[in-house]
Amino acid sequence: MEKTQQSMKVKVSHEVPIVLLETSKTFNDYDYCLPHLLDLHPLYEKYFRQAKKEGRYIIMDNSLHELGEAYDTKRLLHWIEELKPNEFIVPDVWENANASVRNAKTWASIELPEGVEKVAVVQGKSYIDFATGYQRYKWLGYEKIAFSYGASWFQETFQHPNPYVAKMMGRLKTINNLYKNNIIGDFDRVHLLGCNLPQEFLYYKDFPFIESIDTSNPIIHGLKGIRYSEGGLLHKDKEKIDENFTLPISENQKKDVLHNVKMFRKINNL
């Protein structure tokens, strides 16, 4: 069915520690899989095998954000074959536009199981990198393209004394300029990887091409007892979701997490 602005619904997923995986089904629109964790934690693997059996929508990352580089290619191909995720984010290289495009070109020719869609991530250190990278991905046949939250370019393009606000607005400004210059079209499909501040996504409500979001921000801050206000946050904890991944959580931590998940939807009008 043709996508229209009126019918589009942004899908949201928050990565969670092992003890909250089952609970996450109550608030996640889909499951976001970090493949390196499949090799580390049997319970994580078990959850995703069951999620596949249940027909849940799965987007599999390449674990660049957590590891500093994309996960081992052989293991990625293994888990793609095992889980057959609905989408797979092909390996990119942090802030390296040319290397990321080369990877995307290589993966464009790799045959994956039927039903697994390949998604490419824009990388670079300037607007030109982002604009040309986005266009090159489309020429390679990628129908869905992702933008990370953390590029240093974003802070440079939007000056603000708070670095988290600067990066948040920098990604927004970059994507807006790509849209304004007709590089991103209304019927394109974009995924937003993570966030600096949870209130960022409110500003994308008039962009019809935003299809999906993943961010562990509500979870990480909830686990630390930091609750979102009506306006979100003005700082960001630097911990990654795979750190302390197997620790138990208290009832108060769980309440704070669920508060943040609910507030995330409310703040961003999702």
Nearest-angstrom CA–CA distance, 88 and 80: 8
Nearest-angstrom CA–CA distance, 215 and 250: 22
CATH tag for 11-267 (out of 3.40.50.970, 3.90.1150.10, 3.20.20.105, 3.40.309.10): 3.20.20.105
Q: What is the pLDDT of residue 183?
A: 98
* Confidence (pTM): 0.95
pLDDT of residue 7 exceeding 80: no
Residue whose entry in the numeric block shows the structure tokens 């495009």: 101
Q: What is the pLDDT of residue 9?
A: 87
The tens digit of pLDDT for each residue in 68-96 reads: 999 999 999 999 999 999 999 999 999 99
When the pLDDT of each residue in the chain is averaged and rounded to a whole number, the result is: 95
The identity of residue 209, as a single letter, is F
CB 145 within 8 A of CB 190: yes
H helix intervals, 58-126: 64-67, 73-83, 97-108
Q: What is the pLDDT of residue 80?
A: 98
Q: What is the pLDDT of residue 255?
A: 98
SS3 call for 85? coil
Residues 6 or more apart in contact with residue 267 via CB below 8 angstroms: 198, 199, 202, 228, 230, 231, 232
The tens digit of pLDDT for each residue in 138-163 reads: 999 999 999 999 999 999 999 999 99
The tens digit of pLDDT for each residue in 95-137 reads: 999 999 999 999 999 999 999 999 999 999 999 999 999 999 9
Can you read off the two tokens belonging to residue 106? 């290589």
pLDDT of residue 6 exceeding 80: no
The tens digit of pLDDT for each residue in 159-198 reads: 999 999 999 999 999 999 999 999 999 999 999 999 999 9
In the 8-state DSSP scheme, what is residue 201? G
- What is the CB-side half-sphere exposure of residue 180 using CA atoms within 13 A? 6
Residues 6 or more apart in contact with residue 63 via CB below 8 angstroms: 34, 35, 36, 37, 70, 71
